[in-house]
């Protein structure tokens, strides 16, 4: 990326339901883990991981809710 360029993460909030701490608790509990569809777990994990990497490498600008989407904006 070049200085000043922006990076956007678009998250479907109805699928990536869990923050990092909640996700950790779920995967450590076998009963809870089996109850929750894998799509929700993996979507949450991917969103959390991408946001963590973006926060470590880029400057956070803002996030905006649009219907069932959350858009995170970062700048290099």
Tens digit of each residue's pLDDT (9 = 90 or more) over 21-74: 999 999 999 999 999 999 999 999 999 999 999 999 999 999 999 999 999 999
pLDDT of residue 61: 98
> Quick check: is 33 in a domain?
yes
Is this model's pTM higher than 0.85 or not? yes
> Quick check: is 27 in a domain?
yes
Give the CA distances from residue 24 to residues 3, 18, 30, 58, 75, in Å, rounded to whole numbers and listed in that order: 35, 9, 12, 25, 29
> Quick check: is 49 in a domain?
yes
Determine the structural domain holding residue 55 and report its residue range.
6-75
Token pair of 62, please? 């803002």
pLDDT of residue 72: 98
> Quick check: is 1 in a domain?
no
**Number of domains observed in the structure of the chain:** 1
> Quick check: is 69 in a domain?
yes
């Amino acid at each position: 990326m070049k200085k000043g360029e922006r990076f956007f993460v678009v998250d479907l909030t109805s699928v990536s339901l869990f923050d990092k701490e909640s996700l950790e608790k779920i995967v450590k509990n076998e009963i809870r883990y089996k109850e929750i569809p894998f799509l929700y777990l993996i979507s949450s994990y991917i969103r959390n991981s991408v946001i963590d990497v973006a926060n470590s490498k880029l400057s956070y600008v803002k996030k905006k809710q649009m219907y069932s989407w959350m858009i995170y904006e970062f700048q290099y």
